[in-house]
Structure formats: structure tokens, C-alpha cells
Amino acid sequence: MSGPRHVPVMLDRVVSLLAPALSEPGSVLVDATLGLGGHSEAVLTRLPQARVIGIDRDPDALAMSRERLAPFGDRFTGVHAVYDEIGDVLADAGLDTEAGVAGVLFDLGVSSMQLDVAERGFAYSVDAPLDMRMDGSTGPTAADVLNTYSAADLARVLKQYGEERMARRIADAVVRERAREPFTNSARLVELLYDVIPAPARRTGGHPAKRTFQALRMEVNDELRVLERAMPAAVAAIGLGGRVVVESYHSLEDRLVKRTFADAVRLDVPDDLPFVPEGAEPSYRLVTRGAEQADEAEIAENPRAASVRLRAIERVRPRGVGGDTSRTSKPSSTSRTSTDRETKGKGAF
């Protein structure tokens, strides 16, 4: 397959975490963020008994991954959808949703293909239309956000999603400049950011446009709200022995994943109870202890790995038995958790 090639982050570790769940013939993995199919290709190659249903909202990425994974025949199925639609995708595929799937994988954030194709507008290094939609057929663009949001709303987006300290200053400058001429291309936005962000601040934290472009991308694609719906759905979708593996690259994403997993493994009994009543055991266990990170060698080879946080969870009790917790409520202050010791990560949560 020609064109951009995504380098999967922590590939060997991801496959090793999924392997125990995909040991039975016909075991189904949902690759919820298919992209160019790097993780799926490794699973299909190394775990010949597994099938993969790949989900992506980006039609271009989906077409490329279908071409890449065509040699695996009917072991791979590509679906154009957003990953919070996991339940619908499984139902449409005719799978037994009560039995559940063997695994769900999320590799969050923007893919190399989206960054490498200039006209998509994700990259600040080249001048391109300010689009940033993962599905270019629907929804507002980054230009729409810049040209229509109030200064207060722009500042909120930049601060929340980009952790940009100069959020209000940038937002005020955008509103002032768009009155003169609407924003259409990335070069003008980058130029504004160089003008607005003081030189001392530009010397740290990477390119001065990095945080703003990240924030706009997350807003345009509604990424956090989609993830907030997708995580409980993924945890609920796995069957006995099934695993959910998540790679996140933003603190808000990782916090949401951590909270969902903590809720699933909590023991909902008082701390002062001397024993856990039969049937109150949680239905899930943490497979990673805390968030695992890439090692220095991988980061040197693939800079995208520098910010990855990897977490995994496994269903250990059948649905509807005892402490089955396919739920979304927040853990109480008296919660306790069930944690596996299998992992190389540091520190619980």
C-alpha cells in the first residue's frame, strides 16, 4: 500500500496484552480507532485465530486500511463509524452481544495519515485549509470554530483541550483578526500565534502552534465527549476473559480512561467490612498497574510515543453474576479496587 504509514505505538506490548483474550478460534477484536491498521495487522499476523472489526470515522483511512488488510480476507471487517457506536457496530455485524467480544483496542488522537495529508489541515508545519475533521463529510471545521466562537468559548477550548496558558490572549487576537478577514488557512493562524505568544514562552513546550491545533482538533471532532460515551460501552462489550486496551496521549483522555476503569473494578462495600461478601466481587480486574509508558528507545525512534499512557482491563466474571459492573457511576469514597500484578507499570493508577 502506498501513501503514509502509521507507526503503531507500543505495538509489541499492545499485542501481548490482547493475546490472552484472543486465544480461541474466531475471537473478535474491535479495533475502535483503526487508522491505517497497524495494530490490526499485527494482531491478525501474530494471532491467526483472531478476527478484527475495525472502526474509523475517517473514510480515507478506512479505505487505506481495507487495502492493507485485504490479504487477511474475511478475518477483517472495516466499518465506517465513530467509536462510541460500538454497540451498534457489533449488532450490525450479527455478533452475540450478550456473549461479548474478546477485546477492544483504542489508540486515541490523530493518526499519521491525517497529519501527513496537508489538505486535511491537521498539521501546523504546512499551509492548508483549516479543516481538521476526521470525517470530512460532516460537521464544522476548525475555520468555523475560529470564525464563530466567542472569545470566551475560544479561550475555554484552548485552555481545556490544549492546556494553553495564553488562551485568552490568543482568543482575543483571533476575534480581533477575524473581524478584518475570516480565517481560512493554517499559515495565518500560525503567524498570529507567533505574534501573540511572547518569545520566552515560545522557547518551551514545543512549537507555539502545537497546543492550539490540538485543542481545535479535539473540539472539531468532539473527541472527549465521544470517548466519554465509548469507554463504558467498550467495557460493557467484552465477554468473560475479554480485555479493553487503551493508548491515550492527552491528560484529559487518560483521566477519563482511568476513571472508567476504576469504576469497573471497585468493590462497592464499606471499607470497614472485614470480608467481601460472596457475589460482591467486581467483574473486572486491572491488567496494567497504573499507566504504562514507552521506553526511551521507542521514544527516540517514534516521538509520538513520548506522551502515551497505556491502560488495560479484563472481565473476570460473567455478565449478570455478582458484582457485574457494566456501569458508569463515579466511584464512591469508600470504594476499593481489584488490581492484577501482571504488569511492568509503576504505581497503581
Q: How confident is the model at residue 275 (pLDDT cuts 50, 70, 90)?
A: low
With a cut of 70, say whether residue 91 has pLDDT above it.
yes
Q: Cα separation of 9 and 15, whole Å? A: 11
Q: What is the CATH number of the domain that holds 168?
A: 1.10.150.170
**Banded model confidence at residue 126, pLDDT cuts 50, 70, 90:** confident
Do both 309 and 286 map to the same domain? yes
**Predicted local distance difference test score (pLDDT) of residue 272:** 58
312 lies in the same domain as 174: no
Is 38 annotated among the ligand-binding residues? yes
Q: Does the annotation list 116 as a binding residue? A: no
Q: Which of 183, 198, 220 is the last residue of a domain?
A: 220
pTM here is 0.83
Would residue 252 count as lying in a domain? yes
Q: What are phi and psi of 161, to 5 degrees?
A: -95, -25
Say what the pLDDT of residue 325 is.
45
Q: Is 139 assigned to a binding site?
A: no
Residue 2 resides in a domain: no
Taking the CA atoms of 146, 148, 151 and 155 in sequence, report the sign of the dihedral they define.
negative
107 a known binding residue?
yes
Confidence at residue 99, expressed as pLDDT on a 0 to 100 scale: 85
Average pLDDT over residues 101-120: 71
pLDDT of residue 207: 79
Domain residue limits at 195:
135-220
Residue 207 assigned ligand-binding role: no
Arithmetic mean of pLDDT, 328-349: 37
DSSP tally for the chain: helices H, then strands E: 14, 9
**Per-residue model confidence (pLDDT) at position 321:** 61
265 vs 253: CA distance, rounded Å: 19
Q: Within a domain: residue 190?
A: yes
Asked if residue 161 is part of any domain, the answer here is yes
Q: Is 254 annotated as a binding residue?
A: no
Higher model confidence: residue 267 or residue 73? 73
Instruction: Tell whether 31 is in a known binding site.
Output: no
Helix intervals (H) in 24-58? 38-46
Domain total in the chain: 2
Dist. CA 334–CA 26, nearest whole Å: 40
Q: Are residues 104 and 36 in the same domain?
A: yes
192, 124 contact by CB (below 8 A): no
CATH number at residue 265: 3.40.50.150
What is the overall mean pLDDT for the chain?
Answer: 85
Flag whether pLDDT at 259 surpasses 90. yes
pLDDT for residue 49 is more than 60 = yes
